[in-house]
Each structure stands twice: as C-alpha cells, then as structure tokens.
Amino acid sequence: MLFGKKKSVAGLDVGSSSIKVVELDGKVNSLNLVSLGFENLPDDTVVDGQIMELNSVSEVIQNVCKDHQIKSNQVVTSVSGHSVIIKNIILPQMSREELEESIDWHAEEHIPYDLSDVSLDYHVTDEDEESTQVLIAACKRERLDNIKQAIQLSGKQPMVIDVDTFALQNCYEVNYQPDESQVVTLLNIGASTMNVNIVKGSNSLFTRDITVGGSQFTDILQRSLGFSFQQAEAVKRGVADAVEDLDEKAIEPLMNNVTEMVAMEIQKTFDFYRATTEDDEIAVEKILISGGGSKLVGLAEDLSSRLELPVEVLDPFRQIKVDTRKFDPDYLSEIMPEMAVAVGLAIRGVELK
C-alpha cells in the first residue's frame, strides 16, 4: 500500500467456552494493544473442538468484534485437539524441491487420517549435511471448513488458520525472548483441551494436545454433588454463597482427583517426549501456564509440587504496551491467562501487515 497505514489482522481465538479477540499494532519488537474482547459462548456450542451451533458462535464473534471496535475485517484464528496432528520428523538431506515433491509421501505414515481428508503444512526447522528436520502440521479439512464457516458467517474473513499450541509459542517468544538453550514447557489449560508444548529457545521440541481441561473440574462437581453447571462453575471459582449449605470438605478430594489426572497427563507427555529424543541433556527448566483452567486456586502450586518443577503464570502482555486509561489493569490481569492464544494470533496478524 502506497498511502496510509495498513491495518493489522486481528487474532481470534474460538475456544470451546468463550471467544477471545485481540488487535495489536506496531512492530513485533514494539507492540501496542489496540483492542481486546472476551465473551462466553452458550453451553455445548463447541463440542470436542467442533462448532455445533454455527449461528450462535458467529453471533458471539460478531458481537465481541463490534463491542470492542475491531477494525480489521480479516482475522488469524486457530484450531487444536484431536483433528490436529503435529510431528517433528527427520528426513534425509534433500533440496526444497525434492521435499515439496515428497512431503505427502513422508508425512503419510505419521498422520492417522487419509491424506485426502487433511490439509498439510510443513516447515524446515533444522538441517545439516545428512538430514533435514521438518515440522509437519496437519488438520482435518472438515474442521478447518467448520471454523471458516463460523467466522465468515460473522462477516469476518479468516486469513490464516494456525494451531493453538504454536500461537501460544508465538506469544511466549515475543514476550519472553528466550535464549536459544532455554527449555520451558508451555501449558495452556482451556475448558476442554490442554495444549502442552516443550520449547527450546524458539524451537518446538514436542507438542501434545490432551482432551482434559477446566471443564473436568466442573463436571466432577456436577456429577458427584448434583450441582447444576452454573453452580459447579461458581463453586469451582470460589464464589461465596454459590450453593446453600456447601459441604467444603466434599469438594477438596474431588478437585484433587482431577488435579492428579492433569499432572499425570503432563508427566506422560514428558515421558513420551523423552522416548522420542536421543538428547538426554535436555531438561525442562519450568512450566509457564496459561488458559482459564490454570486459574483454579492452588492448581499452579499443586502441579509444581507434583511435577517437581517451578510453575509460573505466562504474561501475554509482558512486552506489549498497554494504555491503562483505555484498559483497566485489574480486568486485564484477571483475564490475562485466557488471552495467551489470542495474543499469539494477533502477533501473527501484525507480522502479516
């Protein structure tokens, strides 16, 4: 564009419990927060990552964008869960043309779906004289069509469809500028999915999406104590007087059961990762947590002691300038964990300018 400033593309995170949207401007090393929106979705509109109620999801997207004056008509969004397959594969050294020609054939054995049903993307992460390391990401087409449809119905255009776990990594890299040797685990605990990404510097070593999240804590309260969804959510969030004559003692063991399962799944991920690497020098320094599910009181401390690793809350606005006259700092710090993926997507949106 010759005249005028080109607008950034907004980051839109369609979660299973809520929609988050973030608009940034500036350059990647000097970003400003322009807009931010967060709105809950009605229950059961997104199930197992699939948008079941296209109209109600698109309506929420439309409202949240209108209420927060999102200027861009284009968005960067993302998918996660079962339909997304991410693998680091090592291939013999080859030219980019040879790789382009043979990638489907190489990727096929790593993807549990028919290749004609998926959209495949890849990226060379490292190479030497003998080998080429390639990160492949595949997603079921029906899942991509599903999210595209919901966004288009809202009047926006999905320009890029990324993966939650890489958006999270983008958010981490820009905000933390890690040393190339630093190994951390990014852990995003959503409502229905937990994204785990073991990152060394700016390289992803291993990722796994686990279908466990904050809603498991709510479910167990509903099932074991007969609460409604709203009551269970309120009790979980520690809202006073959420339920009459609440038996506090009954709650703790139920929450502990779920925390134990969450910790076990993370431990399993570390074990899977160790089984795939020959480099036993790599040790995770700490876990950076995000996602609404990470806000459960005591969860970070509990995971830290169970996994014997420091657990810190990821700050998605660490390097982003925020005008406190426009954005209430208390509100921002309250919703900070939920915004990590959307910020990562918005950063991608700035890069597209």
Tokens of 63: 């409202």
Sequence letter at residue 268: K
**Closest to 164 in 3D by CA, of 126, 183, 191, 145:** 191
Binding mask 206-225 for ligand ATP (x = CB under 6 A): -------xxx--x-------
Q: Does 233 bind ligand ATP (CB under 6 A)?
A: yes
Residue 295-324 contact track with ligand ATP, rule CB under 6 A, x = bound: xx----------------------------
What is the Cα–Cα distance from 162 to 268, expressed in whole angstroms?
25
Pairing label, strands 286-290, 183-189? parallel
Contact footprint for Mg ion (CB under 5 A): 15, 190
344 binds ligand ATP (CB under 6 A): no
Part of the chain binding ligand ATP (CB under 6 A), chosen from 185-193, 202-210, 247-255, 308-316: 185-193
Count of beta carbons in the 10 Å neighbourhood of residue 270: 17
Pairing label, strands 74-79, 10-14: parallel
Cβ distance to ligand ATP smaller for residue 154 or 218: 218
Which of ligand ATP, Mg ion, none sits in contact with 236, Cβ below 5 to 8 A by type?
ligand ATP
| Interaction partner, residue 37 (ligand ATP, Mg ion, none; CB < 5-8 Å by kind) | none
Sign of CA dihedral 112, 50, 270, 161: positive
Task: For residues 55 and 10, give the distance between their C-alpha atoms in angstroms, rounded to a whole number.
Answer: 21
**Residue 35 host element (H or E):** strand 30-40
Choose between 23 and 233: whose C-beta lies nearer to ligand ATP. Answer: 233
CA distance 14 to 51: 9
Site residue total, ligand ATP (CB under 6 A): 21
Q: How far is the CB of 251 from ligand ATP (least distance, A)?
A: 12
Contacts of 228 (CB under 8 A, 6+ apart): 222
293 binds, among Mg ion, ligand ATP, none (CB under 5 to 8 A by kind): ligand ATP
| Main-chain phi, psi angles of 80, to 5 degrees | -155, 180
Q: Which residue is nearest to Mg ion (CB)?
A: 190
Could you tell me the smallest distance in angstroms from the CB atom of residue 192 to ligand ATP?
4
- Which residues within the stretch 265-294 sit at the binding site for ligand ATP (CB under 6 A)? 291-293
Residues lying near ligand ATP in the complex (CB under 6 A): 15-18, 190-193, 213-215, 218, 233, 236-237, 291-293, 295-296, 338
